[in-house]
């Protein structure tokens, strides 16, 4: 029975020796400054990517408007209506993603 107590104390000392400083703080915290910087960099990269995609969709929208400008036939109006709605939906989704990214 005494042997089990010594064995338990031994494992406690061995397994806690590398991870605890003398003042009982963890040597290796769960979030280091480096991981926080990496998280910030990933956040900035995701934000920049979303902004680029939003700008691309806006450029597509203006190109579509210029492409169908002055065309009066019903088929062209139908294609313009469909393309505008598709681009608006895509733009709304991207703006919602950006809003969610900023607010998290």
pTM over 0.75: no
Alpha-carbon distance of 73 to 102, in angstroms, equals 43
Q: What is the pLDDT of residue 11?
A: 65
Q: What is the pLDDT of residue 18?
A: 53
Name residue 26's beta-bridge partners. 20
In a domain, 66, yes or no: yes
Domain, as residue range, for 38: 32-103
Contact residues for 18 (Cβ-Cβ < 8 A; gap 6+): 27
In a domain, 18, yes or no: no
pLDDT along the chain (104 residues), means of 10: 67 58 52 72 89 92 85 84 91 90 80
Q: What is the pLDDT of residue 26?
A: 52
Q: What is the pLDDT of residue 5?
A: 72
Q: What is the pLDDT of residue 42?
A: 86
Alpha-carbon distance of 84 to 6, in angstroms, equals 75
Q: How many CB atoms lie within 10 A of CB 49?
A: 13
Tokens of 102: 């900023």
In a domain, 23, yes or no: no
In a domain, 38, yes or no: yes
């Amino acid at each position: 029975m005494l042997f089990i107590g010594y064995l338990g104390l031994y494992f406690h000392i061995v397994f806690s020796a590398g991870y605890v400083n003398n003042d009982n703080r963890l040597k290796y915290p769960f979030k280091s400054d480096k991981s926080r910087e990496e998280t910030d960099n990933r956040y900035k990269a995701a934000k920049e990517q979303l902004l680029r995609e939003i700008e691309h969709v806006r450029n597509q929208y203006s190109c579509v408007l210029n492409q169908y400008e002055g065309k009066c036939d019903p088929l062209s109006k139908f294609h313009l209506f469909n393309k505008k709605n598709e681009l608006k939906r895509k733009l709304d989704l991207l703006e919602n993603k950006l809003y969610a990214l900023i607010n998290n």
